[in-house]
Amino acid sequence: MSHCLICYERIVPQVTWTNLLLPVKEAIICSECKEKLPILAAPLCEGCGREMTEEGFCADCLKWQQDPQWKRVPITNHSVYPFQPFMREVITTWKYRGDYQLIECFQEELLHAFETFFYKKEESLTLVPIPLSNDRLIERAFNQAEALALLINKNIQVEVVHALTRKSEEASKQSKMTRKKRLARDNPFTIKKQQSKPVILIDDIYTTGMTIRHATKILLESGCPKVTSFTLAR
Amino acid sequence: MSKKSSVPPEKILPLNHSSLREDPIVQYLSGKLLLKEELPQNLKEPYLSQLQTLDAIDQPKSRPTCNRCGNNKKHLLGIIPCNRCHQTHVYCRNCLQTGRVLACEKLYFWAGVQPKWTHQSEPCTWKGNLTKAQQKAADRISEVMDSKDKKLLCWAVCGAGKTEMLFAGITLAISKNKRVCLATPRADVVRELFPRFRQAFKNTEIEALYGATKEKTGISQLTIATTHQLIRYSNAFDVIIIDEIDAFPFHNDENLHYLANRALKKEGSQIFLTATPRKREQMLIQTGKLEAVFVPVRFHGHPLPIPKEKYIFRLSYTLQKSTLPSVFKNWYKNRRNQTRQILLFLPTISLTTKLLPKIQAMYPNKKIESVHAEDAERKEKIDAYRNHEIDIILTTTILERGVTFPSVDVVVMDAGHAVFDEAALVQIAGRAGRSPDDPTGEVLFLHQGRTEALVSAIKQIKTMNKKGRNL
Ligand SMILES: [Zn+2]
Ligand SMILES: [Zn+2]
Ligand SMILES: [Zn+2]
Ligand SMILES: [Zn+2]
């Protein structure tokens, strides 16, 4: 008998006529939790990957495209799950409380979505996880974006490259008011390894899109021909 | 920092800093079992060398055990490729809520001098009087608190006034420089008790610990905490009082028992409080394996209201059809004191929501609400009921204990349902007649067949009343 990775409740294997004679595949999460984690359904925004009522770009993306500072940094983001309250809870436990193992409950949908969006379209894929600052990394003991990239790497033929580093967050921590402004101006990333082939940025959540844009911008400026992104939640 | 692999020692290390005893940092560290990030920042000598460590997670060949919470269940131990130590190892998923414990971490405990608290010969500032029954229990509790390695169960009926019975023992303990902890299963109770204790022990360092606490100083001679908070303590208290030992989650969580035992000093004593002991405790008392003191009467001296029970044919079916049995309607119309509010207990959340509109339509002049555990407005609704803004409240077992309303009648619908065990029914009945101004509320158990729980509950109440008469 296994336990649900999210709610710890016992999972009773469902025996039906179709799986009666097959070895039972152990479920990682219970059916109630699974139901509370729906995946994004088309149509999706062509820019940020959020759910839409019709095809095209969402209002946010259109705004970004008119921003003089950002209009030359086009982004194409794909995500797996909508960032709804239950997903927020699970990600909080995973990332901030540090329950590393929760990543397993995303595996199936993550790999499936990755294959649909990327696998068949391009030949060689390079994944670049969004880095954490060193202090953060020590505090959390793992980088959630790197964990996602490695999970894909373990199952699908892709390369994971740590092309970026993140500056210390000490300065921006001190004042919350100016943080938003500073975020827009200062790029938190520096290039660690130049990329000459297209890359896919990997992160856990796409919220405002600022992080992905900064990373895309610096990669393009340093000679990377194309940057797309893939996040767990949107 | 010296290394050690087993449990914190009783032994006090020799030291030449006698002034350390009244040092707040010593008062903070003593009796705790902390993660590095929970230690005071920039801790220096002479403190550092008197801290000892143990591995946060014990890893014998077979099964790792979290040394902070005692968990060794496989599904509650995770594996992490760790960027601190660059190895892949275990971490504890059981105590994540109070901060993650990694196998590459240490837990820190104070091995230096025991702290000294401000000496008080008369720490108790409460000036009330106890009833004869309360006094008798208070004397026994004091005796046990003052001895070593003793256990006492105090079986006091709902409304006996148990808090005041603890004051004498705590007074004695505090005047002897002892540390006392009152552990209770729920945060609401901590919030309710904290101001009362602060009032009764005005000059004592008291601290309230629960999930979202704001009163946390880390320094207290008298600690009022939810049982889960004991996770940060080891070898700390001379006396632990465990409130409501029969209540969830304490009664069925071995982990919490482990935490309570660890928080107690080696020769410390324990007081268990309950109004409704489980079968296990009742057996231990009967066979003389657990000492007990009874408080069979309420502080106002009136007997407990005895529940009336009534069989109703196909009651649960009737309720599912969103109808109220006519027995209820007749009782409601003819009850002795029409001014009392009603607590209407139902077995499930879905029934409370289903029946609410029906009952509201039936009594349009009455203000009727429902409340359950997952209700976002739970606190507001209970406050409104307390302020008499609600006449009838439909509820599940969440209002079975810990809440006191001065003047209510109590009805349990489908009292034979499995959620209403013996303890729950006795507690529910105990909501009635709490105030000296209205000590005789009515209690009605409606069922479609007597259960053992129902019979035992009524028997238990009658037995207590009999004991009360023979005092
Ligand atoms: Zn679950
Ligand atoms: Zn968009
Ligand atoms: Zn633990
Ligand atoms: Zn480690």
Which amino acid does the sequence have at B302? H
- What is the count of structural domains for chain B? 3
Cα separation, A62 vs A118, whole angstroms:
24
Q: Out of B295, B328, B347, pick the residue that ends a domain.
A: B295
Q: Out of B110, B145, B163, pick the residue that ends a domain.
A: B110
Chain B residue with the nearest C-alpha to that of A143: B83
Distance from CA of A168 to the nearest CA of B (A): 17
Q: Do residues B188 and B42 both lie within one domain?
A: no
Q: Out of B269, B295, B321, pick the residue that ends a domain.
A: B295
**B79 contacts A101? CB cut-off 8 A:** yes
pLDDT band at B299 (very low <50, low <70, confident <90, very high): very high
Asked, for residue B13, whether it belongs to a domain, the answer is: no
Ligand 3 centroid from CA B248, angstroms:
20
Angle between helices A107-114 and A144-155 (to 10 degrees): 70
Residues on B contacting A at a C-beta cutoff of 8 Å: 75-76, 78-84, 91, 93, 96-97, 100, 102
Beta bridge partners of B209: B225
**B83 contacts A138? CB cut-off 8 A:** yes
Q: Which pLDDT belongs to residue B1?
A: 43
Distance from CA of B83 to the nearest CA of A (A): 5
Task: Tell whether the model's pLDDT for residue B187 goes beyond 80.
Answer: yes
Place of tokens 């000496």: B119
Task: Tell whether the model's pLDDT for residue B128 goes beyond 50.
Answer: yes
pLDDT in tens, B362-399: 999 999 999 988 888 888 998 999 999 999 999 998 88
What torsion, rounded to 10 degrees, do the Cα atoms B23, B25, B27, B33 define? -160
pLDDT in tens, B204-251: 999 999 887 766 788 999 999 999 999 999 999 999 999 999 887 777
Q: Do residues B259 and B138 both lie within one domain?
A: yes
Asked, for residue B273, whether it belongs to a domain, the answer is: yes
**A2 contacts B84? CB cut-off 8 A:** no
**A100 contacts B79? CB cut-off 8 A:** yes
Q: Which domain holds residue B100?
A: 22-110
Percent of chain B with pLDDT over 90: 74
Asked, for residue B209, whether it belongs to a domain, the answer is: yes
Shortest CA distance to B460 belongs to which of B413, B424, B407? B424
Cα separation, A50 vs A79, whole angstroms:
8
Question: What ranges do the domains of chain A cover?
Answer: 1-35, 40-233
Cα separation, A29 vs B48, whole angstroms:
44
- Mean pLDDT score, A8-24: 70
Burial zone of B7 (CB within 10 Å; 0-12 exposed, 13-18 middle, 19+ buried)? middle
- Kindly report the CA angle at B245 between B241 and B250, in degrees rounded to 5? 105
Asked, for residue B197, whether it belongs to a domain, the answer is: yes
Cα separation, B122 vs B109, whole angstroms:
32
Q: Do residues B321 and B458 both lie within one domain?
A: yes
Beta bridge partners of B264: B237
Residues in chain B: 471
Shortest CA distance to B420 belongs to which of B351, B355, B347? B347
> Average per-residue pLDDT in chain A?
89
CATH T-level assignment (fold) for domain A40-233: Rossmann fold (3.40.50)
Residues of chain B with C-beta less than 8 angstroms from the C-beta of A95: none
Chain A residue with the nearest C-alpha to that of B86: A141
Q: Do residues B291 and B313 both lie within one domain?
A: no
Q: Which pLDDT belongs to residue B17?
A: 54
Residues of chain B with C-beta less than 8 angstroms from the C-beta of A148: none
Ligand nearest to the CA of A11: 1
Shortest CA distance to B307 belongs to which of B409, B231, B229? B409
**A97 contacts B96? CB cut-off 8 A:** yes
Burial zone of B108 (CB within 10 Å; 0-12 exposed, 13-18 middle, 19+ buried)? buried
Residue B278: CATH number of its domain: 3.40.50.300
**B84 contacts A141? CB cut-off 8 A:** yes
Ligand 4 centroid from CA B51, angstroms:
21
Residues of chain B with C-beta less than 8 angstroms from the C-beta of A97: 96-97, 100
Residues of chain B with C-beta less than 8 angstroms from the C-beta of A8: 75-76
Beta bridge partners of B80: B89
Residues in chain A: 234
Residues of chain A with C-beta less than 8 angstroms from the C-beta of B75: 2-3, 8
**A137 contacts B100? CB cut-off 8 A:** no
Cα separation, B56 vs B64, whole angstroms:
10
Asked, for residue B46, whether it belongs to a domain, the answer is: yes
**B79 contacts A142? CB cut-off 8 A:** no
- Mean pLDDT score, B407-415: 96
**B78 contacts A141? CB cut-off 8 A:** no
Q: Do residues B159 and B90 both lie within one domain?
A: no
Ligand nearest to the CA of B76: 3
Which amino acid does the sequence have at B370? S
Task: Tell whether the model's pLDDT for residue B14 goes beyond 70.
Answer: no
Angstrom CA distances, A40 to A44, A81, B366, B367, B439, stand at 8, 5, 47, 44, 59
Beta bridge partners of A166: A189
Shortest CA distance to B344 belongs to which of B266, B273, B444, B270? B444
pLDDT in tens, A39-89: 999 999 999 999 999 999 999 999 999 999 898 999 999 999 999 999 999
Asked, for residue B14, whether it belongs to a domain, the answer is: no
Most A CBs within 10 Å, among B93, B95, B104, to test the A interface: B93
Distance from CA of B104 to the nearest CA of A (A): 11
What b-and-e string marks burial along B394-424, b requiring 16 or more CB atoms within 10 Å of the CB?
bbbbbbbbbbebbbbbbbbbbbbbeebbbbb
Chain B residue with the nearest C-alpha to that of A5: B75
Q: Which of B76, B80, B97 sits opposite A142 (nearest CB)?
A: B80
Residues whose CB falls within 8 Å of the CB of residue B95, separated by 6 or more in sequence, listed in order: B66, B68, B69, B71, B101, B231
Q: Do residues B317 and B418 both lie within one domain?
A: yes
Task: Tell whether the model's pLDDT for residue A181 goes beyond 70.
Answer: no
Task: Tell whether the model's pLDDT for residue B7 goes beyond 70.
Answer: no
Which amino acid does the sequence have at A60? D
pLDDT in tens, B48-95: 889 999 999 998 777 899 999 999 999 999 999 999 999 999 999 999
Alpha carbon B448 to its chain's center = 32
Q: Which pLDDT belongs to residue B3?
A: 40
* Structure tokens that stand for B119 in this block: 């000496």
Asked, for residue B216, whether it belongs to a domain, the answer is: yes
3-state SS track over chain B: CEECCCCCCCCCCCCCCHHHHHCHHHHHHCCECECHHHCCCCCCCCCHHHEEEEECEECCCCCCEECCCCCCCHHHEEEEECCCCCCEEEEECCCHHHCCEECCCEEEEECCCCCCCCCCCCCCCCCCCCCHHHHHHHHHHHHHHCCCCCEEEEEECCCCCHHHHHHHHHHHHHHCCCCEEEEECCHHHHHHHHHHHHHHCCCCCEEEECCCCCCCCCCCCEEEEEHHHHHHECCCEEEEEECCCCCCCHHHCHHHHHHHHHHEEEEEEEEEEECCCCHHHHHHHHCCCCCEEEECCCCCCCCCCCCEEEECCCHHHHHHCCCCCHHHHHHHHHCCCCCCEEEEECCCHHHHHHHHHHHHHHCCCCCEEEECCCCCCHHHHHHHHHCCCCCEEEECHHHCCCCCCCCEEEEEECCCCCCCCHHHHHHHHCCCCCECCECCCCEEEEECCCCHHHHHHHHHHHHHHHHHHCC
Cα separation, B143 vs B137, whole angstroms:
10
Cα separation, B78 vs A94, whole angstroms:
12
Asked, for residue B84, whether it belongs to a domain, the answer is: yes
Most A CBs within 10 Å, among B36, B80, B82, to test the A interface: B80
**B78 contacts A100? CB cut-off 8 A:** yes
Ligand 3 centroid from CA B97, angstroms:
9
What torsion, rounded to 10 degrees, do the Cα atoms B72, B181, B105, B42 define? 170
Q: Which of B81, B84, B96 sits opposite A99 (nearest CB)?
A: B96
Radius of gyration of chain B (CA): 25
What b-and-e string marks burial along B72-91, b requiring 16 or more CB atoms within 10 Å of the CB?
beeebbbebebbbeeeebbb
Q: Do residues B105 and B161 both lie within one domain?
A: no
| 3-state SS assignment for residue A201 | strand
Cα separation, B388 vs B329, whole angstroms:
21
Q: Which of B93, B97, B102 sits opposite A141 (nearest CB)?
A: B102
Which amino acid does the sequence have at B174? I
